[in-house]
Structure formats: structure tokens, C-alpha cells
Copies of this chain bind each other. A is one copy, B any other.
């Protein structure tokens, strides 16, 4: 390593050290930065000058008493210049958001669309339009978008940006990173991982939790001491394919009886619609509606004790049976609010399955809390207790404390927020890369 390269590497390390200290403290004097980092005041002043010039930090106007009674201008992370783009392709919506370096969400757009019906290139073109619009708006606000991360519902090869298999989109081997061309680099990552990071950075503030993204598929992201656990290949957290019952309904993944077949959005809606159309008579012969498959979604022998076991269904031509997926959860919520006991029981059966799969997850990864997001957010008042009770039944005797089950406040934007947050993290970890450009 030459002298010049050594110097550059040390400067890069020190810039990250100072920016990290500013981020950790919120607002801090140069003197305190020198104390925190072990660098000399002269070095700190030079580095702070570079960071100010690059628009990464800003001096606060306020002059307060410093630690040793001397007044000092404080430094904080600037929200005025550098920004990050978060993007998400999910099965039934697209989402983008712009977050500034001070972690304030500046712009957000969500667009409902059934991506299962469209070829990947069309979906990507639509996403690129949405992204370009918010990037243009950001420029008008004086922001420079320096990078993006794209969330997709499936395992991603992060090195190549290729989605090998997103079964709920019907995508195989789609080179997303190279198809999406914006004026800055975009990395691709699994939606559930990013939703968990969204929860970490923009949600509850818990440092240790398992975040569950309930969508058409069900993903999970495990955060341990403020860091995402990715597994050996970045494919950890496929909660939707954890086994609830090994001989259950076949799943798009090739397995059987996966959680997704009991508590994924499609399975939940199918069960809820079938339940809503249950006749009051219990002696009529069963005649399940094609596709409603109630026994698939909640086998009678799997249902918890005390649950209503009305196994009589009728085929229905009600328009409610034909609602598109993205409106379905709203319909379920309206039925629940109206007090439909059958729909409620169907949701509770899904929640019981979620509790069974989560008991396996708690046994394996030992999270400190469980945060339910995605469609489980709005459904939480009707399903939360059943998930918690199932966990307590299965875990309570073995473990001193069963992890609490709480609701995410972020909604469908969690993954896009986590995606933008990852770009922010990258800038904070290596500000020199940005200052050199």
C-alpha cells in the first residue's frame, strides 16, 4: 500500500468515525467529537469541514455551553442535501419513498397493481416511471438521491441482483438489478428483510425482534442487537414456508402444508369468503365453492379447541367472492367490524396457524419480540390474541418468558422504508465514497 493510499484509507475511516459519532449523538460539538473518537481537535475540524462541504452534516445555529463551560457550535446530520430512494415490487402493489440523511421521510408513493398479470419488464418499467417522478421531485427540493435499494418478495442473490424464484410473482431468474436503470446504483434485496429493517429504523425502536411481513407471501426478518440476520446465503426468514402440517395443501414452493397456505393473504381471503357464506343450517350437505377450499385453509382437526366447526359451505356468486386481492383485506376488515363471527373464526384459524409456525421460529431463533406487519397490521385487533395464546400454549412451559406479540405501525411501506434506510446506512458507513464523487 502506498503512502497516498494509506492516507486515503485512514481519512475514509476517520470520516466514517466522525459521521457515526454525530449520528449516534444527534447533535455534538467538535470538542466532544474529539473526545468520542480519540482524534485530535485539528483532525476533527478538518473532517467536519469536509463533511459540511459534502452536505452530510450541518452546524446548528444554537450556541450552548459545552462540557467544560465553553460555548460550542454543534454539528448534526444534514437532512437538506443527501437522500436515498427506497423501492418495492410486491405482488399487488409498487411502492417508492425518498428518505433524507437525517432519516426523515420526504416523499412516498404507493400504487396498487396486480404484478402477477404482467411480465417483469413491464413491472420494472412502471416502477422506473414511479421512481423517476419522485427523484425529480426530490431534485426540486434540493435533494440529491445518491442510491437506491429495491425490495422484492423472494430470495435474492444480492451479489448479482438476480431474483431466482419469486413464486408469488411467478418470476424465475429475473436480473432485476440490471433491468432497472436509474441515474444511480440500485441494489436488490428480499422484501421481508427490508421490512424488518424498516421496523428497526422507522418503527418501534426495538433492537431485537422477528418482524413478520404478511402479504400474498409471508416473510420474516430477524433483527438481533440492531442487525439483520441473513443466514449463509441471504435467504433466511422464509416463514411462509415453515411447516404447519406436513400433509397439508400443496404450496407454490413445492412443499405441503406451509404457513402461507393457512395464513397468507390469498388463503386468508379464501377462508374468510367461504366462512362468510356459511349457512346457518348445519344439516345441509357440504358443497364447497370451487377455489374456496375451506378444508385446505383450516383442517378441522387442526383448529384449536373451542372454535366453531361449521363445515357447511355453499357456492356463491356474490360479488364479494370476486374482489381483487388488494381490496380483499379491506372487505375482511369491514366484515370483522360488523361482527361477522364466521369471518372472525376464519381469521382466528389463520392466526392459530401463524402461532404454530411462530412457535417453531421462536424455538429456532429465540427473538425478544414478534412484530406483526403487512396485512397482519390492520388485522391485529382480531388475530393478535390468538397468535399470542398459541405461542403461550406451545412455549410457555419450556421458556420463562414467551416473546410478546406486537403490531407494526408502518403498514405496507415498511419494506420501501427499510430499503431507503439501507442506503442511508451505507452513506453513514462510508461517507468518503460520496465525497469523492
Task: State the A residues within 8 Å of B (CB).
Answer: 155, 164-165, 167, 208, 220, 224, 229-239, 241-247, 253-256, 301-302, 356-357, 359-361, 363-368, 393-400
Q: Which 9 A-B pairs have the closest CB atoms?
A: A231-B366, A254-B397, A232-B368, A238-B363, A255-B394, A236-B366, A253-B398, A208-B232, A235-B366
Residues on B with C-beta less than 8 A from A394 are 241, 243, 253-256
The 18 sampled A-B contact pairs (Cβ below 8 Å) are A164-B399, A165-B398, A165-B400, A167-B397, A235-B399, A236-B365, A238-B363, A238-B366, A241-B363, A241-B395, A242-B363, A242-B364, A243-B243, A243-B360, A254-B395, A255-B394, A357-B360, A364-B364
Q: Give the interface SS of chain A, mostly helix, strand, loop or mixed.
A: loop
Tell me which of A231, A237, A244 has the highest count of chain B C-beta atoms within 10 A of its own C-beta.
A231
* CB-based contact A233/B397 at 8 Å: no
Residues on B with C-beta less than 8 A from A238 are 363-364, 366, 398
Q: Please judge, given known A-B contacts A164-B400, A247-B302, A254-B393, whether A239 and B368 are in contact too, CB under 8 Å.
A: no
Residues on B with C-beta less than 8 A from A237 are 364, 366
* CB-based contact A241/B398 at 8 Å: yes
In addition to A238-B366, A357-B360, 7 A-B residue pairs with Cβ atoms within 8 Å of each other are A155-B398, A233-B368, A239-B364, A241-B363, A244-B246, A253-B398, A360-B364
Residues on B with C-beta less than 8 A from A255 are 359, 393-395, 398
Nearest CB to that of A392 among chain B residues? B254
CB distance from A100 to the nearest CB of B (A): 31
CB distance from A47 to the nearest CB of B (A): 22
Residues on B with C-beta less than 8 A from A302 are 246-247
